[in-house]
Structure 1
């Protein structure tokens, strides 16, 4: 079963700075069309945002049937794609991964919130 999680903003290296990357995982069932938030996380760096994406992708693919899990399992081992995600995040662009099964679309996204103050 997918378990929703939530964390508070992580302090930055210089004290109580807010996290600079927002990470979200949501499920979108086809019937009825709606969205279900699975996880929300704040990360203080692009690498930590990528780590969160990997962990949540692993959790979701573990619960999918093998044919539907395959794209997520491939993504988990694709180092070139991970570097691409890091480049996107560090240059201010959101990164999104979408997985599907017969009844639901799973969207994982990380995006920069701007520099920590």
Structure 2
């Protein structure tokens, strides 16, 4: 048995190269599809309505906190049918209302 007997035929080398090219193209295509999906998902979030449970998870609160504040009408919400839902804009509003800015007469931070 010689080295030439152990080496794959030249045609097998071409197939391996073609398979590598195919794999590269598939990976590039998959990456492009994932990027398009990410852009579409970002725009879908603006249209999506979140349940109190989902909104609580985003806000870092309990579902009970969200439901109580909806019932007391302290936070914005909308009804979809008979179920209260929060949009992305509502959640941003809730976060902005909790923001505390420094007082203009506060002691400056030492440099």
Say whether the fold is shared (TM-score over 0.5): no
Name which structure has the greater RCO, CA cutoff 8 Å, separation 6+: 1
Query: TM-score with structure 2 length normalisation?
Result: 0.26
Query: TM-score with structure 1 length normalisation?
Result: 0.25
